[in-house]
Structure 1
Amino acid sequence: MRRLLVAGAALLALAGCDVFTAPGTPDSGVGREGARGGAFSHSQSEDLSGYYTVGETPVGPPEFRLTSLFVGQASAFEDWEAGRRTPGYAPVLLEFSGTGGGSERVVPDSYSVSDGRVRMTGTSADGQQIVFEGRMNAGALATARRNLGAAEVPAVTAVVRIGDRTWSGVKLNWTGGD
């Protein structure tokens, strides 16, 4: 049992070791695979909860556009990681819109969340691999919270991969929610 715990901890540590593609770099269409095997971890000490909406630049093909990232409160992470899960909901999820006006929530196959980073992998309803790698801007998030959502600087800058296409420098702004 002890060996299993040590191996699991080592895998989680390795899953957190990745190279972030700097915002504004050309899209290569090549992404890295996310953590596998149901790896869910969070270590944030700050409240990151809320919706982060995509700016004006479309992210994704017209039939499957990223609209927002949702980050839940600490208790939602604890419940999820303990196996207490609600279908269609997760402490980190991505929402997409389609050309017909419908939307799809993608729940995580894995996630790693800290004060400075949100990383999530998931699978769309049609089987596409989704990878979200976001860097948090703590100052912009604090300003957005003080102003109830109005901030000039994005709270998250991300690289998003949908299937075999990648979008770099994706800007997301914090909103409290509905």
Structure 2
Amino acid sequence: MVDDLDKSRELFLSLNVGLSVFSSKLDRNNELLSGMIAREREREKWAEQVIFKEIVVDANDQKQSDPVNNPGFNRARVFLDAGFTPDHTGGLSVSLIYKNSKMSDVMKLISSNGSAGKASEPIDIAHLSGFYFIISNHDSANSTTVKNFRIVLYNEMRA
């Protein structure tokens, strides 16, 4: 009877230790899974903002956007659609300005007969907020209509 009680006690203790090990592994797996889910949610987070819609940029002129506030994204891409006259020869360029300094040439859109569109390469905006864009028309005689100019802000996950 005492032997049976000792065996039951040993079995109970070994099961309890096994359960404790299993529980700690389960906690660790839950921690890893929670981290993966959080990273995936962060990756999916993005925002889109229209910068210009249906504006005319006169010959040899430029238009400055309102500041873009960055709520914490680390990348952006801009998308530009424009309408050109048949005589247009200069094209458009887009520059990123931050604290009144030109940070980069974001894109150039060469004129074509009719409309054209282009997407920029990814832009690193990790520490920028309050930046703005300048669209310049390089044609000396013809205006251009910017049909749609928008920015998509997103987070690029680094490994």
TM-score by length of structure 1 reads 0.27
Say which structure is richer in strand: 2
Q: Which has the higher contact order (CA 8 A, sep 6+)?
A: 2
TM-score by length of structure 2 reads 0.29
